[in-house]
Chain A
Amino acid sequence: MHDLDPHTQQINLWIALSGFEPTFSGTLGKVGYGCTVIEDEFYILDEEGEDVINPDLILSSESEEHALLIECKSLKINSDQIQRYLRVEGNESNIVLQGLINNISASDISAEVLLSSFDDLSGKDIPEEISIVHFRRDPGSGLSVWNLDENKIKEPSASAVFPINHHPNEPLPSGHYPFDIYESDKEAMVSAVFSSVISLAVQEGEIKLDDVLDRTHPYWDKIGDAKQKELSDRVERTFLELRKAGLDQYLKKIAGTNGKEWKVVSRTIQAVKDRTDFYIERTIAELPQARLDHDAWSANDTNDSDEDIGVAED
């Protein structure tokens, strides 16, 4: 069974909770919350000095003039980070003035920091000013999402949507933010790159790295520079490994049809289908461990560094 990393899964869950999700829960969306920012930072500057705040997401409600600054956590809590988050209170206008939210005025906005986790944060002595939402998965009872009593969400309409329960047989939404740079996301990443490459071969006839990136991850070029580079390196390396595993010959055949010769495409995609699991497993095996500070992902570190990434004949 292959799951996403808990951090990546949480990003997907918060997007789903603020959207249209009849098979999960769009309850925050129904009470007016929309997801406005993913993975960016803003500054707090006051008499105590300057701090950088980078929540994973901001959910905001125009009608309640309120923002939830959401940090998706594991069990590890950084006390410096908590101290920085406590400084949001009294400096909420910065969220608007620095352009993170534009549908609420700087003078009217209220905000709170919310930590979410698949791990139990209840014993971590987190100040009550910071809200905590716990995602708990149980093979028997499914996913339950609840707001800890000691760290209640302050805005009543958002607080009222919890708890949320999700049936155990039903998959959690994972298609919004398809993967991140974590080891557990590797299969999701390879699978997403693979389908992007086949899609481009059918539709475009040529495959450029930027197009693979655009088609593989909707957020890759809209988040911080460091993460962009990490994602780009991983996608490039994955594409290279898929080709090395033998996909190249089929990509060229599909690309040559311009999507108009179903008989040729059909024969070719049948051959790819028979080897899909092999390509995925082989590629995963060839990829480095997914450590954040690892430079092994660079496609230029492989023996094929001088090989053109595209299959197009220029």
Chain B
Amino acid sequence: MLSAFNDRLQNNYSDLLEDTELSPGENMLKTAVVESNIPPLEVFEKEEVDRVREVDQNLHLFKWTTGNSGSDWFFLDTHDKRFWIFYSLSKSNFFGDAMREIVTSEGAGLDRLWLPRGQIERIGEMGAYEGVKISYGANDVFPEEFIKENLEFSDLNIDGSGSSSKNLYEILKQTEKLDPFLALSRIQIRREIDGDFVRERVTNEGMFTTRGGTNIRLHISTVEQIKEQYAQMLNAIESNHIIGATSREHGARPQGAPIIIKFSREVHDVEEFLSYIVNAKNPFRLWGHTRKISASAYKVDGVDMHNGDKIAIEMAPDWMRLYLYDGACGNTALRLFTNLQQYYDPAAELIYHNNNSHTR
């Protein structure tokens, strides 16, 4: 597998360098990291899978048939039982459709990564910028009237490429009125280590397109590093923020604390805001009962319909307390936070307890 990927990596790079387009059939290597709560073999029982070959116990080759984009092959690496890695040399439209189908068809079992802006910026620090994409979309969630009263932008799309994209991003960040709307959805970097290099495009959903390089192991290491950063964040959330109670010889000991999402701009009408977030529709898919609990604060007892996790929200104009209850997945918090950044406040902060330090 590594040898085939390595050849493709090097061919892609020379094609892009010389012709600026790829040879027929020479698709770039695509990789997706997926968060899993199911046994690895369960995905092979899906009707969309028609062939499976075991390379070793934790590496399988399988063919997936999509609804609209045909069939193609994936390698699935399940060495890490919580985070699976899918590799494919397929076309990008097939890869996108197939990954969406794989993740959504498993209900609560599989989920993509939800990388907040701060995490994407950390990926940027792993190499030299070659591109950034900003995709802010308040108009996908909020009506025109709400946007007019509360936000300077209804949407904002900026696609910058080339080595100056870091400068572009820095200038945008220093622009006071723009910074709170920079919903960073994708970054391209060139990473160099010990004379080898790899060029990666990484989305905030944990999808990679490898645009060339000299050594496939550098791609593998990049994916592993990003996966590890995400795993640490998820682990901190699940260790410290699942609300419950532990039985003791007498009574019980409380467990967990709410996670805080702190907004950079005040929400003037919390009830109206929640009516667009907790409406059981995409992208938030939150359902719940909202009630007023103080002059300008509201509480929601609800369910994340992505996976059925029971949640509660207490919201004031400046922040939201998110309670994840026993059995909930930490990805529920990261999904809500990343979506709030994407559709309302890209400068919002996630405050959670990370052992002895508090991370934002």
Contact = CB atoms under 8 A, between A and B. Distances in A.
B305 interface: yes
Nearest to A58: B251
Contacts of B255: 218
A200 B325 CA distance: 13
Interface string A10-26: 00000110011111001
B252 A195 contact: no
A38 B106 contact: no
B22 interface: no
Given A198-B287, A269-B305, A171 B250 contact: no
Interface residues of A, number: 69
A245 to B, nearest CB: 13
B252 A171 contact: no
Contact of A22 (B240, B260, B315): B260
A37 B301 contact: no
Contacts of A34: 253
B289 A22 contact: no
Interface stretch (B48-56, B166-174, B175-183, B316-324): B316-324
Interface stretch (A81-89, A124-132, A272-280): A272-280
A172 to B, nearest CB: 8
A191 B279 CA distance: 16
A23 B321 contact: yes
Given A98-B250, A171-B316, A259 B301 contact: no
Interface residues of B, number: 60
Contact of B299 (A171, A176, A259, A265): A171
B359 to A, nearest CB: 11
A40 B295 contact: no
A146 interface: no
A153 to B, nearest CB: 21
Contacts of A262: 104, 305
B108 A40 contact: no
B245 interface: yes
Nearest to A26: B257
A188 B290 CA distance: 10
Contacts of B311: 195
B291 interface: yes
B316 A39 contact: no
A222 B247 contact: yes
Contact of A260 (B106, B287, B314): B106
B248 A218 contact: no
Contacts of B104: 262
B292 interface: yes
Contacts of B302: 195
A272 B281 CA distance: 12
Contact of B280 (A38, A42, A172, A270): A270
Contacts of B312: 175, 178, 192, 195
Contacts of B245: 38, 218-219, 222
A272 to B, nearest CB: 7
A215 interface: yes
Contacts of B325: 215, 218
B107 A37 contact: no
Given A175-B312, A203-B308, A222-B252, A20 B257 contact: yes
Contacts of B294: 1, 3, 168-172
Given A1-B292, A2-B292, A175 B323 contact: yes
9 contacts: A2-B291, A2-B292, A37-B252, A169-B294, A173-B314, A199-B303, A222-B252, A260-B105, A273-B287
Interface of B: 104-108, 240, 243-245, 247-255, 257-258, 260, 279-281, 287-289, 291-299, 301-303, 305, 307-312, 314-319, 321, 323, 325-327, 351, 353, 358
Interface of A: 1-3, 15-16, 19-23, 26, 34-42, 98-100, 139, 167-176, 178, 187-188, 191-192, 194-196, 198-203, 214-215, 218-219, 221-223, 257-260, 262, 265-266, 269-270, 272-273, 276-277, 280
Closest 10 CB pairs of A and B: A202-B308, A259-B107, A40-B251, A222-B252, A171-B297, A203-B308, A175-B323, A37-B251, A260-B107, A20-B257
Given A2-B291, A41-B250, 7 more contacts: A1-B292, A22-B358, A37-B250, A37-B253, A171-B297, A195-B301, A269-B287
